[in-house]
Amino acid sequence: MAGRLCLIKSVLSATPLYYLSLFKAPEVVCKSIISIQRRFLWGWGKEKMFISWVSWRDLCRTKEEGGLGIKDIRKFNYALMAKWMWRYSFDEKGRWKEVIESKYGLGINSDSVPIKYQSWWWRDLTSIYREGGGDGWFQDEVGWRIGSGDKIRFWEDVWVGNSKLKTLFPRLYSLSLNQGHKLEEVGEWEGSIWKWSLRWRRGRFEWETSIEAELEGLIARVKVKKDEKDALEWRSEANGCFTVSSAYECLVSATRGPQIDFFKHLWKTKTFPNVMFTAWRVLLNRIPTRMCLRRRGVLLDTYVCALCELKEESCQHLFLECKVASRVWDLCLRWIGILYVQHNDVRNHFESFMLTQGSNEQNQIWKGVWATIIWCLWNHRN
Ligand SMILES: [Zn+2]
């Protein structure tokens, strides 16, 4: 299974990369790609029948959350397409940009061209851009690095805090004579010191002056730099440059669950990948023991344990309580010379399987021993 996962990540997710980075994939294409990947993951090997033991949504979670870190193809498609939006907003020049600008007007946010005259590619791109409500997820991730104020619009762009000033101060915005002005037009240099000078339609009422003071306090903290140009930056990366992986992370962050300790420990164990995969399935209780098969409606002649033929074959019985298993655990603990209270729950058993005096690395090896015993028991049972 470890090999198949590797192939899914390196081949099946990478093959459609070229198309996914250019076009928004239709729903049916995404479903087909997922179906191919799912069949490849679960439909091979010793398990003759095709059962998806873990939902695809859970497999797309990170390993620390209990998944396998497979890419969600739809969101990955969006992240790849977002690169075009980034290049459109960030690249100053480019023939392709000139063509798009001349055809569609002012820019990606512009609605100046009626939808019926827009190409389907452009429509797809803007729909991805606006995904997530409000100004869209992409806009939320783009910020400004303030230079001389030659590009940033004072009221209409997000450059101080996380909101536009016109949204924060709607009353003042309606009074302002600086609507649509760039920062460099809303102040001036006095020697080496930048002074803001906002202009208003009329004097402010008394209750408005406190809001004005709040605005002045907010913008006073911002440093305008004389010799630098304003530049867009991608907030999720320290260097401000867009990357597909950080865009993907933004898109999936809303659905991220908490990290689970025993999965974190499992993937750090020092053992072979296929051993870890078997242990992962056992910890999730998603391995074809006879009880699990019965729950999924598979008809078998018998549901008792294949090793002792005394009790129903559940994960808990097969790997912990069965006389064969408990003898193995017993021998293993005697070998290392420790006394240990055995838990009846697989997850608790794994969690408590540690050397209290041991170093981090020793425990990683020790947990690897746990996973290997599980793997051996499973192979022995088969
Ligand atoms: Zn048994």
pLDDT digits (tens, 9 = 90+) for 185-214: 888 888 888 888 888 888 878 778 888 888
Predicted confidence band of residue 105 (pLDDT cuts 50, 70, 90): low
Distance CA 169, CA 216 (A): 11
Across 264-286, average pLDDT: 90
- The answer to whether the CB of 283 falls within 8 A of the CB of 263 is yes
User: What is the whole-number distance in angstroms between the Cα of residue 135 and the centre of ligand 1?
Assistant: 59
pLDDT tens-digit map of 314-354: 999 999 988 899 899 888 888 877 776 677 888 888 888 88
pLDDT tens-digit map of 64-80: 998 998 989 999 999 99
Residue type, 276: M
Q: Which pair of tokens denotes residue 318? A: 């097969």
User: What is the whole-number distance in angstroms between the Cα of residue 326 and the centre of ligand 1?
Assistant: 10
Q: What is the pLDDT of residue 49?
A: 64
User: What is the whole-number distance in angstroms between the Cα of residue 325 and the centre of ligand 1?
Assistant: 8
Spell 202-240 as b/e; 16+ CB within 10 A means b.
Answer: eeeeeebeeebeebeeebeeeebeeeeebeebbebeeee
Predicted confidence band of residue 106 (pLDDT cuts 50, 70, 90): low
CB atoms within 10 A of CB 250: 20
Distance CA 242, CA 232 (A): 10
In the chain, where the domains are located:
147-229, 260-382
User: What is the whole-number distance in angstroms between the Cα of residue 75 and the centre of ligand 1?
Assistant: 44
Distance CA 373, CA 348 (A): 16
Distance CA 75, CA 256 (A): 13
- The answer to whether the CB of 264 falls within 8 A of the CB of 286 is no
User: What is the whole-number distance in angstroms between the Cα of residue 347 and the centre of ligand 1?
Assistant: 19
Containing 142, the helix (H) or strand (E) segment is: strand 142-145
User: What is the whole-number distance in angstroms between the Cα of residue 330 and the centre of ligand 1?
Assistant: 15
User: What is the whole-number distance in angstroms between the Cα of residue 267 and the centre of ligand 1?
Assistant: 28
Helices assigned H by DSSP within 196-322 = 206-220, 244-253, 261-268, 273-284, 290-295, 315-316
Q: What is the pTM of this model?
A: 0.78
CB atoms within 10 A of CB 198: 17
Residue type, 192: S
Distance CA 332, CA 335 (A): 5
Average pLDDT value over all residues in the chain: 85
pLDDT tens-digit map of 130-156: 776 666 788 788 888 888 888 888 988
User: What is the whole-number distance in angstroms between the Cα of residue 320 and the centre of ligand 1?
Assistant: 9
User: What is the whole-number distance in angstroms between the Cα of residue 333 and the centre of ligand 1?
Assistant: 20
Distance CA 59, CA 55 (A): 6
Cα angle: 205, vertex 206, 209; to 5 degrees: 90
User: What is the whole-number distance in angstroms between the Cα of residue 324 and the centre of ligand 1?
Assistant: 7
